Amino acid sequence: MTKGANAAEGNVNQERIVYLGPPGTFSNAAVDRYFGSVSPADCIGVNTIDDVFLDVEAGKADFGLVPVENSTEGAVNNTQDCLIDTSLQIVGEVYLAIEHNLLIQKNTEISHIKKIVSHKQSLAQCRLWLRSNFPDIELAEVSSNAEAARLAAQDETIGAVAGTLAATKYNLDVVHAGIQDRKNNTTRFLVLSRSRASISTGYDKTSILVYTENKPGALFRLLEPFDRHQVSLTRIETRPARDGFWSYVFFIDFEGHIDDDSVRHVFSELADRVVKIKNLGSYPRAQPNQTAS
């Protein structure tokens, strides 16, 4: 088990975990990476990212795992939108090196393929390779790369872009491996929980949402306290605020824990500079070796 799971709650293998399914997705692989071996009865794949949030909020699961950003395609907007409204806390993170493969039925010729399917992000991460190698074949989006593998297992004219876990689960051949356009393609996943408990480890990250008014210098005023107190930002993203009252919402990740003096000073100064701050949680930073293909 990845010790970054550290067990925001102790004995996580006896807890129920929900992720973007079905089995065989990269989210499924990230669950395995973070939590270790989990009983299928306690590891549930759902249809959408929204469902992950809803199940944990409703108490149907103890933890949820969702993708939040990819090194090639950027932020996962669906996850960001859910974070705006959720009452859940981020209690962990995990990075997964993403290797895409072209999968087909066993004992099938690649010339039989009439259509290639996958999740829209997976297709986007392989767009140059697909255009160069299969320029005349239809590309179609489906709900997940595991769903793509399931469809390929049922139809010899369908090829799927998915990972090796999906190939194993659906008994498919990898006819082309590592087809992603960027070889350092990595996705960051968040682990969500209803718990607000957070213990500083000395190697933490904090995530917040900040609402600002549409005024000149708003971004400068937002960032200045981080510079003054030497708190390092690791990520900043902007999304339109959806309620029509505020213009922007900033997603900010930075090094440190809410209990650190420097972070407390930043929060104190931000209170007079922004409209609203939502603390999404402080949690252990993922170690650099917490990646896997």
Domain that holds residue 233: 204-284
- Is-contact 228 246, C-beta < 8 A? no
Count Cβ neighbours within 10 Å for each residue of 275-285 and write b for 16 or more, e otherwise.
eebeebbbbbb
Confidence of residue 288 (pLDDT cuts 50, 70, 90): low
| Element containing residue 56 per DSSP (H, E) | helix 49-57
**4 domain-assigned:** no
Q: Please state the length of the chain.
A: 293
Highest mean pLDDT (candidates 35-44, 45-54, 271-280): 45-54
* pLDDT category of residue 219 using cuts at 50, 70 and 90: confident
Q: Report whether pLDDT(12) > 50.
A: no
Task: Give the model confidence (pLDDT) of 147-187 as tens digits.
Answer: 999 999 999 999 999 999 999 999 999 999 999 999 888 99
Residue 6: inside a domain, yes or no? no
pLDDT in tens, 47-80: 899 999 999 999 999 999 999 999 888 899 899 9
Which single residue is written with the structure tokens 């005024």? Answer: 215
| pLDDT score of 103 more than 90 | yes
Query: Which pLDDT value is given to residue 21?
Result: 86
Does residue 3 fall inside a structural domain? no
Q: Tell me, what CATH number does 120's domain have?
A: 3.40.190.10
- Please report, for residues 121, 215, 235, 249, 266, the alpha-carbon distance to residue 208 in angstroms, rounded to integers and kept in the order given: 25, 21, 11, 10, 12
Torsion sign (Cα): 228, 234, 239, 241: negative
Weakest-pLDDT range from 44-53, 60-69, 204-213, 242-251: 242-251
The pTM assigned to this predicted structure is: 0.85
Does residue 240 share a domain with residue 189? no
Residue at 260 is within a domain: yes
Indicate if 189 and 171 belong to the same structural domain: no
User: Would you say residue 242 has pLDDT above 80?
Assistant: no
Which range, of 6-20, 46-60, 90-104, 127-141, averages the lowest pLDDT? 6-20
* Cis peptide preceding 22, ω within 30 of 0: yes
